Amino acid sequence: MTNAAQKETVDIPNIPFIDLQAQRERIADKVDAAVLNAVHEGKYIMGPQVKELEQQLAEFTGAKHCISCSSGTDSLAMVLMAKGVGPGDAVFVPAFTFVATAEVVAWVGATAYFVDVLEDSFNMDPASLEQAIKDAQEAGENPVGVIPVDLFGQPADYPALCAIAEANNLWVMADSAQSFGGRLGDKNVGQWGLATSTSFFPAKPLGCYGDGGALFTDDDELAELLQSVRVHGKGGYKYDNVRIGMNARLDTVQAAILIEKLKIFPSELDARDAVAARYNEGLKDVVNVPELIEGARSAWAQYTLVLPENVDRDDFAASCKTAGVPTAVYYPIPLSQQTGYKKFPVVSSGTAVSESLAQSVISLPMHPYLEAGTQDYIIETVRKVLEA
């Protein structure tokens, strides 16, 4: 290796896509003490920390009830089970999302109906939803509900989507796995629709040290059903099984970790806002930067660009990588085109936007501990690669 080549290797920064260690360093002593305490107490299943966390999360969102659970995916399934969704029922989901949104519909034997998304927000298109409801009715399906997704952290257009759902007698469950801490208009994430589902997977805005999730609702009856579904469909007590349920509890240790993380979460959301604003400012003249709908606050789970048509995404990602800037593609294939999901119906007006976004989106490093200097290097790199 020549000296010049050696020098170049040394100069490439090591930028993580998401830096969970930076957060860990900030509160490691408190989290470690909370974990050890939970271990010493020995109440591993549904210990006092679980209830305490649920109270804090309900307060944080303003929702009446919080039911913690084993993962975001399980939380989505729990609502479908509580609502008795099954074969012959149609549930509308966006074609451009993480697979779990549609997967749970298939679990209960219902039909996942794919709806297109909007180009600017990446979220469910109200006009496409309206068309899909008509299509499903004409096909003899029984439409029961809608699962809008708050993709990359921005709430979907709930006022528009909920109005359409209400007019058609459908419930709305928000898949807010990526948007916990976000807001739209006068409501926080957790307050939209009949129920809101979120995830505490480590890389989500509020993550634990394993799998975890939570549901939010103002509906007393649904909250009670969800408590039952969470523990094997229990009735009056554990060995009284009045319905089909699952084992979907959040571990006490994870609740203890989340209690500590929730304390710094508001400051992390502010930091994410600042990172997004810096990216927007540095990149808006060269590429399509993410846009928020009016009144929306994003939790910025991802910072996602739409590349111009003449830019080859693989080349762009490779050039960024060479310069030490990691990127990621969420999601490269619309669900409607995934092998396991091709049998499910697609709205008659098509999912052209989902298909186009799957080809052109790319996400940049985003986390609350991204330093301004590092970010400026990322911005400079992206600009150079685009201009090359």
335 binds ligand PLP (CB under 6 A): no
Residues 119-178 that bind ligand PLP (CB under 6 A): 149, 175, 177-178
**Least gap, CB of 75 to ligand PLP (angstroms):** 8
Is the CB of 253 or the CB of 283 nearer to ligand PLP?
253
Is the CB of 34 or the CB of 93 nearer to ligand PLP?
93
Residue of minimal CB distance from ligand PLP?
72
Is the CB of 225 or the CB of 299 nearer to ligand PLP?
299
Is the CB of 154 or the CB of 319 nearer to ligand PLP?
154
**Least gap, CB of 201 to ligand PLP (angstroms):** 4
**Least gap, CB of 214 to ligand PLP (angstroms):** 10
Between CA 112 and CA 99 the distance in angstroms is 11
Between CA 153 and CA 180 the distance in angstroms is 7
Is the CB of 143 or the CB of 207 nearer to ligand PLP?
207
- CA angle, residues 165, 168, 171, in degrees to nearest 5: 45
Between CA 97 and CA 358 the distance in angstroms is 10
**Least gap, CB of 307 to ligand PLP (angstroms):** 22
Q: Contact, 156 vs 292, CB < 8 A?
A: no
Under rule CB under 6 A, how many of the chain's residues touch ligand PLP? 15
Write the secondary structure of 133-183 as one string of H (helix), E (strand) and C (coil).
HHHHHHCCCEEEEECCECHHHCCCCHHHHHHHHHHCCCEEEEECCCCCCCE
302 binds ligand PLP (CB under 6 A): no
191 binds ligand PLP (CB under 6 A): no
Is the CB of 126 or the CB of 207 nearer to ligand PLP?
207
Q: Which helix (DSSP H) or strand (DSSP E) does residue 372 occupy?
A: helix 372-387
Angle between helices 313-322 and 372-387 (to 10 degrees): 130
Which of 61, 71, 254, 304: binder of ligand PLP (CB under 6 A)? 71
171-175 vs 195-199, strand pairing mode: parallel
Contact region for ligand PLP (CB under 6 A) — 18-26, 94-102, 331-339, 345-353?
94-102
Residue 193 neighbours by CB under 8 Å, 6+ apart: 148, 158, 162, 165, 171, 172, 173, 174
Is the CB of 73 or the CB of 111 nearer to ligand PLP?
73
98 binds ligand PLP (CB under 6 A): yes
Phi-psi region of 271 (alpha: psi -120 to 50; beta: other; left: phi over 0): alpha
Residue 8 neighbours by CB under 8 Å, 6+ apart: none
211 binds ligand PLP (CB under 6 A): yes
Contact region for ligand PLP (CB under 6 A) — 12-20, 65-73, 130-138, 162-170?
65-73
Place of tokens 């991802």: 302
Question: Which DSSP string do the residues of 309-325 spell out, in sequence order?
Answer: TTS-HHHHHHHHHHTT-
**Least gap, CB of 229 to ligand PLP (angstroms):** 16
Is the CB of 82 or the CB of 177 nearer to ligand PLP?
177
100 binds ligand PLP (CB under 6 A): yes
Is the CB of 361 or the CB of 379 nearer to ligand PLP?
361
- CA angle, residues 347, 300, 178, in degrees to nearest 5: 50
Residue 85 neighbours by CB under 8 Å, 6+ apart: 91, 105, 108, 110, 144, 145
201 binds ligand PLP (CB under 6 A): yes
Which of 121, 123, 191, 199: binder of ligand PLP (CB under 6 A)? 199
Which of 68, 101, 252, 327: binder of ligand PLP (CB under 6 A)? 101
**CB-CB neighbours of 241 under 10 Å:** 14
Place of tokens 């989902």: 354
Contact positions vs ligand PLP (CB under 6 A): 71-73, 97-98, 100-101, 149, 175, 177-178, 199, 201, 211, 213
